[in-house]
Amino acid sequence: GHCVARHHGRVVFVRHSLPGERVRARITEGSPGDRFLRADAVAVLTASSDRVGPPCPVAGPGMCGGCDFQHVSLRRQRRLKGEVVAEQLSRLAGLEREVEVEPLDDEEGLRYRTRVEFAVSPEGTIGLRRHRSHDVLAVPGCPIAVPEVDEALAAAREDGVPEGIRAVDVVVPSGEADTVLVEVPADSPTPPIPLREEVAAPGGEVGMGVDARGFWQVHRAAPRAFVTAVLEAAGVRPGERVLDLYCGVGLFSLHLAAATGEGGQLLAVESDERAVGHLRENLAGQPGALVLPGRVDDLLGVPRKGRRRRGRPARSELLPPSADVVVLDPPRTGAGRGVIEALVPLRARRIVYVACDPAALARDTAHLLAGGYDLVSLRAFDAFPMTHHVECVAVLEPRGAVLG
C-alpha cells in the first residue's frame, strides 16, 4: 500500500500517496544509516486525478492501519493491484502479461467484510490498531464491514470487556441468524466455536462448518466467486484423482469431490487441527474423499526450513504417485520451491494455484515453469477493496499440452 519515492538517493516508502503525486512526507520509521525509510504523506502538493476523499474518518496518516487505499478511486485501486501482479510476474517469473482485477459484489468497495478482529487496549479501549503500532484507536465503526459488525462493536463497548481480553472478534456468518462476538483471552486459547456458512456454488447452495476464529474468506461474495472460478479452472472430469492442498475446512474440496463423481478420488490436505475436524464433517457425504491431516511439506517429504535432520524426511505413503488435477491455496508466504518441486513429478494435467500474495505466486510460478509447466490463464479478484490485497487464481498446464 506504499508508493516508492527517492530522496537524496534513498528509497522512501510513502503511505497515503499515489504514483505521480508530489507530497510533503513525514518520516515514521528509519534512521540516517538505513537503506530505506517509511513515511506518511501529510500534505498533497500536486494531487493525482485518481485521489478521492476517504469514506472513513480515521483512514489518514497516523490513524487506523486497516486500509491502504481509501484515498484512491476504486477503479484506480484495481489498476494498481493489477499492475503489482503483472510487475511481480515479470520480475520474478519472466512473464509479461496484463492483469485485470475483477470486482466482486460490493457497493463502491464498502460494507463487504463479515469478519473483523477489534483490538482491546490494557485500559479496555476497543478499536483498531494504528498503522505498524500497538496503539488502539477507538474507531466509530468500520465502513468496509457489513452493518452488523458496527452494531456488535457498539454493543461490546456498551457492555465492556473483562480484564485479560486482548481482542474481540465479530463474525457475521451467512448460515446463522445471529452475529457472533468472541472475546479472545490474552494468555489462553479460545475454545472452539462452530459456525455454519452457506456457499452458493454452481451445483447449488451448500452449508459448511467452520470455527469462529478459523480461516474463512472475509468478503461476503468471495466464497461463491472463488468456488466458481476454481471449479471452472480445474475442469475436473468424472473418475479423476484430485489433490486439494492447504484446503482449510474444504471450501473447494467439497465441490471438487462432487465433480470427480463415482470412481473418482479427492485427497484433502490440511494441518490446522480445528479445520481438519470441520473438513471431515464437511466431506462426510462424499465417499470418494479422503482427509489427510498434516503439513503439505511434511506429507510430501520436503525438509522444513531451519530444521536439521539426517536424510530426507519420508514422503507419506497415503499420497498417490500421480494426480490429474492439483489445487493449492497456500498461506501468504506461498508453497515454496521444495513443495513445487515435489508436485511436478505427479504430472498433473492441470494445476490451479489460488494466491493472496502476488510475489509468492510469481516465485512459485517460476518454479513451475522450471518444472515444465506453462501459465495458461490468470484471474485476479478485488476481494479486499480499500486495501492493497488481491486474490489470484492461476492455471498451469504441462508445456506442450493440448489446452481444454
Residue 362 CA neighbour count, 13 Å, CB half: 17
Residue linked to cell 489445487: 327
Q: How far is CA 291 from CA 235, 237, 278, 339, in A?
A: 21, 20, 11, 19
Measure the CA–CA gap between 332 and 131, rounded to whole angstroms. Answer: 20
Query: How many whole angstroms separate alpha carbon 359 and alpha carbon 245?
Result: 19
Q: What is the DSSP string of 150-191?
A: HHHHHHHHHH---TTEEEEEEE--TT-SS-EEEEEESSSPPP
Task: Convert 290-345 into a string of H (helix), E (strand) and C (coil).
Answer: EEEECCHHHHCCCCCCCCCCCCCCCCCCCCCCCCCEEEECCCCCCCCHHHHHHHHH
Q: Assign 3-class secondary structure to 330-367.
A: CCCCCCCHHHHHHHHHHCCCEEEEEECCHHHHHHHHHH
The residue annotated as part of the active site, out of 3, 142, 247, 356, is: 356
356 an active-site residue?
yes
Nearest to 39 by CA among 27, 51, 48: 27
Dihedral Cα 317, 322, 326, 329, nearest 10 deg: 30
Q: Which three cell numbers stand for residue 244?
A: 486439494
Contact between 116 and 179 under an 8 Å Cβ cutoff? The reply is: no
C-alpha cell, 236: 475436473
CA–CA separation, 373 vs 119, rounded Å? 44
C-alpha to C-alpha distance for 30 and 38, rounded to whole angstroms: 7
Give catalytic residues, as residue numbers. 356
